[in-house]
Amino acid sequence: MDNQEAKQITLVQFPTMFSVPNLSPFCMKVETFLRMANISYTVKEELNPANAPKKKFPYIIHNGQKIPDSSFILDHLSREFNLDFNAHLSIQELAVARAFQRLFEENFLWVLAYSRWFEDKNWKMVKEAFFSMLPPILKGVLPNQIKRDMENKMKIQGMGRHSREEIYQIGMQDLRAIIDQLGAKPFFMGDQVSLVDATAYAFIANVLLPEFESPLDGLAKSAENLKAYCERMQGLYFPELLTKHEEPEMLGV
């Protein structure tokens, strides 16, 4: 597939803010993959995913086709562009990478969400960033409605049935596993970048970079390997982050 075809890719996602490529790790995962693969793309920023396929961001538009869900997007792009970032991994390493992807996306995600939606100081920042431009009537109602929806989702998933202390206990255990797996390696699975790095970087950066406060901060910011990994991935794929720290930021591509 030539570069002209690649330019037909549009990534639809939340706006960039808080010194991180995207507050949604799933949006950031896709954009990181696009940069890892050196695929040309344009970004369409939207705040409301109501009209998105599956009513979630991100999705891409490729040659007129809308493709939702970050994992399906990466599968599609890998097929279309004949990419295999995992070719150097053994069967056992592939299994470990898959397990950590699920840890990030199905468990740690909910601790991260809790830290933003249910810590009062962080919620005020998120509320201002995402809902400040709404008309006054909606601004007084919609954020709390969406917050209640998030609370219900967390209860259905199970994380929301725990106490604050228990939620962060789970998150800290996940974070320690992430720190231990990364170790002294330059990338999450070793000396070469692999597919799981798109996910790992998206979540690690979303803990380290935004100015949110939670019990996760101390452990994450004391882990030199996490900080070095984040800086390494920034330098390779989001070098503009190394020189921009004001909030909020909009990073154009």
CATH number of residue 158's parent domain:
1.20.1050.10
Cβ proximity of 24 and 45 under 8 Å: no
Q: Are residues 201 and 153 in the same domain?
A: yes
In angstroms, rounded to a whole number, what is the distance separating the alpha carbons of residues 69 and 105?
Answer: 12
Q: Which amino acid is at 55?
A: K
Total tally of structural domains belonging to the chain: 2
Burial (Cβ within 10 Å: 0-12, 13-18, ≥19) of residue 29: buried
Q: Are residues 132 and 205 in the same domain?
A: yes
Q: Sheet harboring 59-62: ordered strands across?
A: 42-45, 9-13, 59-62, 65-68
DSSP 104: I
Q: Are residues 13 and 100 in the same domain?
A: no
Residue 212 located in a structural domain:
yes
Instruction: Record the tokens describing residue 3, joined without a space.
Output: 């570069």
Residue 85 located in a structural domain:
no
Beta bridge partners of 42: 10
3-state helix, strand, coil in the chain (%, to 5): 60, 10, 30
Q: Are residues 214 and 146 in the same domain?
A: yes
Q: Are residues 22 and 76 in the same domain?
A: yes
Residue 245 located in a structural domain:
no
Q: Are residues 146 and 72 in the same domain?
A: no
Could you identify the residue written with the tokens 């882990």? 223
Provide the residue range defining the domain that includes 10. Answer: 3-80
Q: Are residues 198 and 217 in the same domain?
A: yes
Q: Are residues 118 and 229 in the same domain?
A: yes
Q: Are residues 218 and 125 in the same domain?
A: yes
Q: Are residues 12 and 59 in the same domain?
A: yes
- CATH number reported for the structural domain that contains residue 70 in this entry: 3.40.30.10
Cβ proximity of 33 and 198 under 8 Å: yes
pLDDT tens, residue by residue, 136-186: 777 778 888 989 999 999 999 999 999 999 999 999 999 999 999 999 999
Q: Are residues 153 and 133 in the same domain?
A: yes
In angstroms, rounded to a whole number, what is the distance separating the alpha carbons of residues 155 and 128?
Answer: 25
pLDDT by residue for the chain (253 residues), tens only, comes to 444 444 589 999 999 988 899 999 999 999 999 999 999 999 999 988 988 999 999 999 999 999 999 999 999 999 999 999 999 999 999 999 999 999 999 999 999 999 999 999 999 999 888 887 777 777 778 888 989 999 999 999 999 999 999 999 999 999 999 999 999 999 999 999 999 999 999 999 999 999 899 999 889 999 999 999 999 999 999 998 765 544 433 333 3
Q: Give pLDDT, residue 246.
A: 41
What are φ and ψ of residue 98, in 5° steps?
Answer: -65, -45
Q: Are residues 128 and 36 in the same domain?
A: no
CA angle 97–99–103, rounded 5-degree value: 115
Residue 98 located in a structural domain:
yes
Residue 229 located in a structural domain:
yes
Residue 241 located in a structural domain:
no
Single pTM value for the model: 0.90
